[in-house]
Amino acid sequence: GVSPRRSISLCRNWFIRLESLPYIPLEATGEADKIYESFARSKGITEDLRLDPLILGRRLRHHRRRAGLTLDQLGERVSKPGPYLSLLENGKKEPRISLMVDLASALGVEVGELLDPTPPTRRDALEIALLRAQESPLFSSLDLPPVKASAKMDNETLAHLVGLHHALRERSGLGGAGSKEVRRANAAVSADVTAREGYLADVEDAARQALEAAGYPGDGPFSSRNLLDLAAGTGYEIRPIEDMPGFARSIIDTTHRRIYIAQRDELRTRQARKAVLQTLAGFLLDHEPEPDLETFLRQRMETAYFAAAVLVPEEAVLTRLREAKKQYDIDPEDVKELFYVSYEMAAWRTVNLLTHHFGIRSHLLVSDETGAVVKGYANDGVPVPRDEEGGMETQRICRWWGARATFDSPDRFGTHHQYTDTPEGTFFCITHVEPDKAHHAVTVGVRFADARWFRGRETHNRAVSTCPDPHCCRLPSPEVAARWEGKVIVSARSQARILGLLAPDPYPELDMLQVLQVVEDHAGDE
């Protein structure tokens, strides 16, 4: 008959009183959260048990005021100064468990009352919501001063402000990657790749086994013969066809053990290799069918990584990169030429291996002419704009970065080298626009200290970026804005963006009638 929330409080209270816990600082290891979660799960409680310092502080303040105590008076009871307790109440510091026990005892409440994960009052909930909204990247981009929820502000006004922030966040989806669930799933996958320094050891192992099975000689491009042998090793035959649907990179007929791809005159050789390898990756990496959203995005990332790891084998490219590093001459262009892959794939492989094998932190951005990020990765601290979930896709990078400056270069299809001074330090970047993807730039960048290892480091191109300050490149000067206010109308190209927003889900929309017709038509082929 006890509610789940009350059960959580009782569980926490019971654990805190164990002799082994009083001296574990929450801020040191987070072990308290793990203990709470483990015990609660054993009791069938699945609520989110993460401790929120801000809510904990508000609950402490709530019970202190109910007890009629000042900060100094409570401090005397627990042998702590008032200013320290003020930091706790404002969520600026996390207490040790032993102090939580003392505070609860001094206030005459259960420890679970202080650890309850809900704000103590509606007013507290509104104030916390306003604080968090004003800490978001979206609010920072507005260049507005934060509003303090003072005691003079009534609840109705506070509720209106919180509601406006919520509405603004929802409408900002026009600049986001789609629904909140898609952004969250995408950010989770990106965070996992970043945590692994861009290097997926398990996928590298699978690629290494595939290379051995295909008879790869150990150097140079992965040939069409290697690809056919690899497919045969999985029990499949590759069949080029002329009537491949435009929305599909391949179709698998599991009955006749065939993989259909577009004819080579419709799909360039290197693209065909990538398409087949991404298809085979599903088998070789044991990807589950009908995945949930996050798993779906993770699988797509892994298949792309696998294809790159086969086409640009780790050991073969490491030999080249080590020599290039000795010569202070690392450049993705060399990887592209040596292994006959696209510049983008060469850039990804370079970045995949830089930190793991050379200790060089880096970033990679694929962006369009407007600066919108299509794909991205960073572990070097470069200040790439991110959405509230932490994803960088669809965010617009600074106008002065090399990724955008290259489009204004006299030789836009040449390689653009640039140093950029940012609030997080100076970064060196190499940007390349591939002729067959004229509206997309691929940028590889590193910190200033690591520029010495790369070709083009002697460039005199240098820019200053103060983004996310909107005055850096997003807002016109007050004089220009005043002179043209109300006198300019822009007709935007919005069709593609609107169609993207109207898509019912992030999964590729497949015309199964057309797919099955293709398989049916070719089932009798010899």
513: domain CATH number is 1.10.10.2910
CATH number for position 396: 3.30.450
Give the position of tokens 């509405």: 167
Would residue 423 count as lying in a domain? yes
Are 454 and 419 within one domain?
Answer: yes
pLDDT at 447 over 90: yes
Most confident of 5-19, 25-39, 303-317: 303-317
Q: What is the pLDDT of residue 497?
A: 52
On whether residue 114 sits in a domain, the answer given is: yes
Q: Is residue 317 part of a domain?
A: no
Q: Give percent above pLDDT 70 in the chain.
A: 79
Residue 8: what pLDDT?
43
pLDDT at 252 (0 to 100): 83
State whether 299 and 186 are in the same domain.
yes
Q: Are residues 189 and 287 in the same domain?
A: yes
Percentages (nearest 5) of helix, strand, coil residues in the chain = 50, 10, 40
Position 56 in a domain: yes
Burial 398-428 (b: 16+ CB within 10 A, else e): bbbbbbbbbbebeebeebbbbbbebeeeebb
Q: What's the chain's average pLDDT?
A: 81
**Mean pLDDT throughout 42-60?**
66
Total domains present in the chain: 4
**Shared-domain flag, residues 498 and 468:** no
Output the pLDDT for position 68. 94
Range of the domain at 60: 4-120
Query: Could you tell me if 376 and 452 lie in one domain?
Result: yes
Tell me, yes or no, whether 203 and 294 share the same domain.
yes
196 and 75 in a common domain: no
Confidence band for 486, pLDDT divided at 50, 70 and 90: confident
The pLDDT value recorded for residue 274 is 85
Q: Give the pLDDT score at 337.
A: 94
Residue 423 has pLDDT above 60, yes or no: yes
29 belongs to a structural domain: yes
Residue 342 within any structural domain of the chain:
no
pLDDT at 12 over 60: no
Does the residue 191 lie in any domain? yes
Provide the pLDDT for residue 512. 58
Edge-first strand order for the sheet with 462-464 is 373-378, 362-368, 440-447, 425-433, 415-422, 462-464
The 10s digit of each residue's pLDDT in 97-153 is: 888 889 999 999 988 888 888 889 989 989 998 988 888 767 776 767 888 888 888
Q: Which of 475, 492, 508 is the last residue of a domain?
A: 475
Based on the fold, state whether residues 203 and 305 are members of the same structural domain: yes
Residue 61 has pLDDT above 90, yes or no: yes
Q: What is the pLDDT of residue 170?
A: 66
Q: How far is CA 88 from CA 48, 83, 112, 419, in A?
A: 21, 9, 17, 43
Do 189 and 304 belong together in one domain?
Answer: yes
Domain assignment present for residue 110? The answer is yes
Q: For 355-384, write each residue's pLDDT tens digit.
A: 999 999 999 999 988 888 989 999 999 999
- What are the pLDDT digits (tens) for 510-522? 555 666 667 777 7
Residue 220 has pLDDT above 60, yes or no: yes
Instruction: Quote the crossing angle between the two packed helices 269-284 and 224-233, to the nearest 10°.
Output: 20
Q: What is the pLDDT of residue 19?
A: 33
Q: Are residues 40 and 99 in the same domain?
A: yes
Residue 411 · residue 388 · CB < 8 Å: no
Q: Is the dihedral of CA 447, 451, 456, 462 positive or negative?
A: positive
Based on the domain organization, do 181 and 291 belong to the same domain? yes
pTM above 0.75, yes or no: no
What's the CA dihedral at 58, 61, 66, 70 to 10 degrees?
-170
